[in-house]
Amino acid sequence: MSAVPTPRLTPEQYLELDRRSERRSEYHDAQMYPIETATINHGRIQGNLYTALRERLKNTPCEAIVSSVRVSIPRYKRYTYPDLIVACGKLELEDRNRDTLLNPTVVFEILSPSTAGFDRGDKFTFYRSIASLQEYVLVSQDRLQIERYRREDEQNWHLEAMAGVEATLRFESIQAAIPFSEIYAKVDLIPD
């Protein structure tokens, strides 16, 4: 999330501006924050995850959706653009524009130095308020490292931290697994 906000807006004003804009922005604390430009590593990881999930979910009631879809977080009056979403069953959309999802099952954020703290902290707090959300995945873009949070009940989330070339990202909510070798294919990593 960029550090330069716009003036205070109502959710309706934000949606109107965001829908007309060529550049997407998230909505937090009544302000719009332009989304940062992605790196090559970010794009590769996002593409690799989308391709792997699309293949694994093709005969299920779930689907992978890339970052062009907004997620509404009604309890906190927030709007975000996760890097990748998995939604299962009938998509619940906020309004007739059909561009804002209400029921994600899995949300992915690919970490960057400027957003990692927010993604792990406040943003995760906001996402936890979405009843349909079962798993939240934070993906490092320069190390073989992924954190997966899984909902255990209304109050508790279980963290599984994975690292290394032999690791596999496993999902309970969608019954899928993706080896790190697929997720990080062609990604330039920082040597340990």
Q: Is residue 141 part of a domain?
A: yes
Q: Which domain holds residue 54?
A: 38-183
CA torsion 129-135-136-142 (nearest 10°) is 180
**31 falls within a domain:** no
Instruction: Indicate whether 30 belongs to any domain.
Output: no
Max CA distance (Å), the chain: 49
Written as six digits, the tokens of 149 are: 């949070």
Across the chain, which has 192 residues, the per-10-residue mean pLDDT values are: 68 94 92 89 97 97 92 96 97 92 98 92 96 98 96 94 96 97 95 71
Q: CATH number, domain at 106?
A: 3.90.1570.10
What φ, ψ does residue 169 adopt, rounded to 5°?
-85, 115
Q: Is residue 17, in this structure, part of any structural domain at all?
A: no
DSSP 190: P
Establish if 93 belongs to a structural domain: yes
The amino acid that residue 69 corresponds to is V
Query: In the prediction, which pLDDT does 154 show?
Result: 85
Q: Is residue 23 part of a domain?
A: no
Q: Tell whether 11 is covered by a domain.
A: no
pLDDT at 6: 57
β 168-171/157-163 pair status: unpaired
16 secondary structure, DSSP code: H
How many structural domains comprise the chain? 1
- Give the integer Cα–Cα distance in Å for 6 and 13: 12
Pairing of strands 157-163, 145-151: antiparallel
Indicate whether 12 belongs to any domain.
no
Contacts of 128-134 spanning 24+ positions with Cβ under 8 A: 128/157, 129/73, 129/74, 129/75, 129/76, 130/71, 130/73, 130/102, 130/103, 130/104, 132/92, 132/102, 132/103, 132/104, 132/105, 133/104, 133/105, 133/106, 133/107, 134/105, 134/106, 134/172, 134/173
